[in-house]
């Protein structure tokens, strides 16, 4: 009897009990026992029906795909793949063998049929499988059987293992085209993934933890991988008024579009001390960085300078009977605040007094995820 069948009828029985007022009739030990039992079973269903380790079918986000590369020692292959823009995660392990839960020692015996393999989870909207395969070929000798670099044995064979049958046509096409560059037949096996077991923890991210560790791949290729699929430059645009009214809070709209000023000491970022980046709330364009933020005591976020002077524009402001220099974002034309010449002398003497409502703060740990990875070097404190 199948697992799904058993669980289905168990839940059906329980619901039947409830609908027939069993709960009302047995509101004592029997009911409590049934509730406990159902809770335990339901908690176990995920593990019972879920993908077993030997099937390697992890649930991944809809905008992600996975492919598995065997390219000799998995330390170097993993480190290479993770450099590619669009690769979301990597994991080293053992693929397509004939025993369950193999250890590294067992795989090295050359009797288990496993290949040292790297699971690559990637965003197909950022990097294509064809590019991943092309780059993978740069790290291997595809005509060598069971040997890459100084490593010999069937566990060091080369292979591309897929979990989506729809990928096979593309894989065959790309590999077929690459094969024309070689005078000898290729030894890269192309097969569906039969099983995959994660390797021991000390193998994961090995070259990150051991920068001088053994690697059969030329280190220069890591830089090639980093540059192979550069990020497309973001385009920031001002939204129409209806969109701004929909997306912004009442205060954000009043500040950015009507030149209002939020209360001092009663705004979101005046006392924000975390590392990160501040972007225009209306466009998402980066404007300020936390390393240029300082405590001026005025009750609003204060910065010594913007990330780039070309990102802002200054206007003479004579409102409220004062003479001030207004600061606006150039792309979004959003009112940000004002700039004064009473800032720290060692930082240039300026104080950009900015409304929190004009900004969105992205902490350092979220910058890569939100597409601001290129600005991370600005956080390095001098």
The predicted-structure confidence for 218-260, as pLDDT tens digits, reads as follows: 999 999 999 999 877 778 999 999 999 999 999 999 999 999 9
Confidence of residue 38 (pLDDT cuts 50, 70, 90): very low
Model pLDDT for residues 282-329, shown as the tens digit of each residue: 999 999 999 999 999 999 999 999 999 999 999 999 998 999 999 999
Contact in structure between 53 and 139 (CB atoms under 8 Å):
no
Kindly tell me if the per-residue pLDDT of 382 is higher than 70.
no
Per-residue tokens: 226: 């980093």
* 9 vs 64: which has the higher pLDDT: 64
Per-residue pLDDT at 6: 47
Helices (H) and strands (E) counted in the chain, each on its own, are: 12, 17
pTM, 2 dp = 0.55
% residues pLDDT > 70 (the chain): 83
Per-residue pLDDT at 37: 52
Confidence of residue 21 (pLDDT cuts 50, 70, 90): very low
* 13 vs 94: which has the higher pLDDT: 94
Per-residue pLDDT at 48: 40
Contact in structure between 169 and 127 (CB atoms under 8 Å):
no
Contacting residues for 302 by C-beta, under 8 A, at least 6 apart: 293, 294, 295, 296, 343, 351, 352, 353, 354
Of 18-27, 44-53, 122-131, the least confident: 18-27
Q: Which residues are catalytic?
A: 73, 353
Per-residue pLDDT at 4: 46
How far apart CA 295 and CA 347 sit, in angstroms, is 13
Closest CA to 118 of 86, 146, 83, 91: 91
* pLDDT, the chain, mean: 87
Per-residue tokens: 330: 């150039």
Per-residue pLDDT at 23: 35
Dihedral sign from CA coordinates of 96, 98, 104, 105: negative
Per-residue pLDDT at 232: 75
Per-residue pLDDT at 134: 97
The average pLDDT across 341-361 equals: 96
Residue 42's DSSP bridge partners are: none
- Rounded to 10 degrees, the C-alpha dihedral 26/27/32/34 comes to 30
How far apart CA 164 and CA 174 sit, in angstroms, is 16
Using the structure block, give the residue that is written with the tokens 């697992």. Answer: 3
Contacting residues for 187 by C-beta, under 8 A, at least 6 apart: 142, 143, 144, 145, 157, 158
């Amino acid at each position: 009897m199948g697992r799904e069948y058993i669980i289905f009828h168990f839940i059906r029985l329980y619901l039947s009990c409830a609908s027939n007022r069993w709960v009302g009739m047995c509101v004592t030990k029997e009911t409590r026992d049934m509730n406990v039992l159902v809770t335990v079973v339901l908690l176990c269903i995920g593990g019972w029906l879920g993908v077993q380790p030997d099937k390697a079918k992890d649930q991944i986000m809809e905008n992600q795909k996975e492919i598995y590369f065997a390219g000799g020692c998995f330390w170097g292959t993993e480190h290479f793949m993770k450099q590619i823009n669009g690769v979301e995660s990597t994991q080293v392990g053992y693929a397509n063998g004939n025993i369950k839960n193999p250890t590294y020692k067992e795989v090295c015996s050359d009797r288990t049929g496993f290949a040292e393999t790297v699971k690559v989870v990637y965003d197909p909207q950022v990097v294509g499988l064809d590019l991943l395969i092309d780059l993978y070929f740069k790290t291997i000798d595809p005509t060598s059987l069971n040997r890459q670099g100084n490593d010999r044995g069937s566990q060091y064979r080369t292979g591309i293992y897929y979990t989506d049958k729809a990928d096979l046509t593309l894989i065959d096409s790309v590999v077929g085209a690459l094969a024309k560059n070689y005078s000898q037949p290729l030894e890269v096996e192309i097969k569906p993934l039969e099983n995959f077991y994660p390797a021991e923890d000390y193998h994961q991210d090995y070259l990150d933890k051991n920068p001088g560790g053994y690697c059969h791949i030329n280190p220069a290729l890591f830089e090639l991988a980093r540059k192979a699929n550069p990020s497309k430059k973001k385009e920031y645009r001002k939204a129409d008024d209806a969109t701004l009214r929909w997306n912004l809070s009442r205060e954000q709209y009043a500040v950015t579009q009507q030149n209002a000023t939020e209360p001092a000491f009663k705004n979101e970022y005046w006392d924000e001390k975390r590392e990160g980046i501040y972007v225009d709330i209306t466009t998402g364009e980066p404007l300020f960085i936390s390393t240029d933020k300082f405590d001026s005591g005025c009750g609003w976020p204060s910065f010594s300078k913007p990330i780039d002077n070309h990102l802002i524009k200054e206007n003479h402001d004579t409102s409220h009977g004062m003479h001030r220099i207004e600061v606006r974002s150039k792309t979004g034309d959003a009112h940000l605040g004002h700039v004064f010449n009473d800032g720290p002398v060692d930082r240039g003497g300026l104080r950009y007094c900015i409304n929190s409502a004009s900004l969105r703060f992205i902490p350092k740990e979220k910058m890569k995820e939100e597409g601001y990875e290129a600005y991370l070097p600005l956080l390095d404190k001098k």
